[in-house]
Structure 1
Amino acid sequence: MFTRRHVLALGGAAALAACAPRRETEITRAATAPLSPEPPLPAIYGAIHDEPYPVPAIPPGTLKPEHWRREVPNPWTGRSRGDIVIDPDAGILHFIDTPEIATRYAVSVGAAGFAWEGTARLQFARAWPRWKVPETMIARKPELAPYSVSNGGMDPGPGNPLGARALYLFKNGKDTLYRVHGDAVPQELGRAVSSGCIRMLNHDVIHLHAKHVHGASVTVLPSIKPKGLGALY
C-alpha cells in the first residue's frame, strides 16, 4: 500500500509540488560542473532529430559510464514484463524486459521522490506533456499562476520541467501525483535534487516511454537515505 513519508513536515504539499522546476542555481551548477575525461558516449545519446522539439546530444564528458542506459541481468525475476522498479537511494530504475533481462536507467530523485514508497499502476504516459501546476503550489509561488490547471498548464517543449515524456502513476484509481519524467541533466543523475519526482535524461525517458506497458506495476522501494544527504554515488 502507498504511504507518504514526512507528510507533516512537507505540509501535505510534497506530492503536489512533485514536478516543480529546478532552481536556477541547480541548473547552472549541474550544467557547468566539470567531470573527469570519460570514454566516448554511445550513439544512443546523440541528438534526436525526429521529435517535435529539440533533443540535443549529451555533451561529451558529462555522462559517467555507470549512468549509461544498458541491459542487465534481471534482478527482479518474479516481476512481469513491463513492470518498473525504482530504487530512490541508488538512483536506478529497472524496466523488466524478460525473466532474464532488464533495462537499467540512471535517475535523479527529487524531494517528493523520497516521500513515497509502494506499488502503483502505470495509468498512462504522455509525450511532451503539459505541466499543470496545482493550486497548493501556486499559493506558495504566485508567479506560476499562468500555468495552473485552470489556465491549461505550461506548453510542452524546452523549459517544461516534465521534459520529453512523463509516466503517471495511480493508486486505487486516484492520481498519486508521482511522476517519472524527463528533463534531467547528466551531472544530477544518481543524486538527490531539490525538486521533482523521478527525473531521467530525455533520451532515456523517450526510450522508456516507447517500451512502457499500460497498466504495469511501478514499485518504489523504501528509502533509507538520511535526510539532507545529497550525493548517492
Structure 2
Amino acid sequence: MTTLVDQIVYACDMFGTAVFAFSGVLVAGRMRMDGFGVLVLAAVTAIGGGTIRDMILGATPVFWVRDPLYIWVVLATAFFGMWLVRLPRRLPWYVLPVADAFGLALFTMIGAQKALHFGTSGIIAVLMGTMTGVAGGVIRDVLAREVPMVLQKEIYATACILGGILYSLALHLGLDRLSAMLICIGAVFSLRVAAIYWHLSLPTFSLERRQD
C-alpha cells in the first residue's frame, strides 16, 4: 500500500529526474551536440545512477522499465530545455544549483533506502546512495570529454556519503523511516548549498612540488 510519504517522495523523485536531465541538456548545448546527443546526455544524467544501482542490487527490471514515466519526464525535459535555453531571459544563476542540490539529496536517500530494502549492510547502502546521486553525472561528463566534477575538488559526492551514513545510522538507532529520510535529505542539501554559497571545496592532490 502506497503511503502519503511514498507519494511525496515519488513526486520529488520526478522533479529530481527533470533537474538532472536539464543539467545534461546544458552540457550537451555547451558541447554543441545535436538533438540525439541532447537526449542521450539528459537520459544518462537523470537515470544513469539509478540504473547502475538496480543492476548491482539485482532489482530487475530496472526502475524506469517498470515505470516508463521516468523516460517521459526525461524526454519532456530535453525538448523543453532546448527551447528554454534559447530564451533571451535566463533563470537566476542559483536556481539550477539549488534544485540540483535537492535532487542530489533525494537521489541519495532513495538509493540508500532501496539498498537497505534489499537487505544490504549500511556501508553498501551508503555506496548505493552515493552512486544513485553521482554516477549519472559522471557518465555525462565522460561522454562530454570532461573530468567528472565528483573527481575534482567540488563537495558533491562527499555530501552523498554523509547523507547515506546519517540515513543508515538513524535507522540503526531506531528512528522512524520519515525521520531518517528528512535527516538524510537535509544533510546532503545543506552541505551542498553551503559549498555553493561559500565556495567550499576539498583539498586537492597533486604530484607537483611546491615552489618556495
Higher relative contact order (CA 8 A, sep 6+): 1
Q: Give the TM-score normalised by the residue count of structure 2.
A: 0.24
Higher strand proportion? 1
Q: Give the TM-score normalised by the residue count of structure 1.
A: 0.22
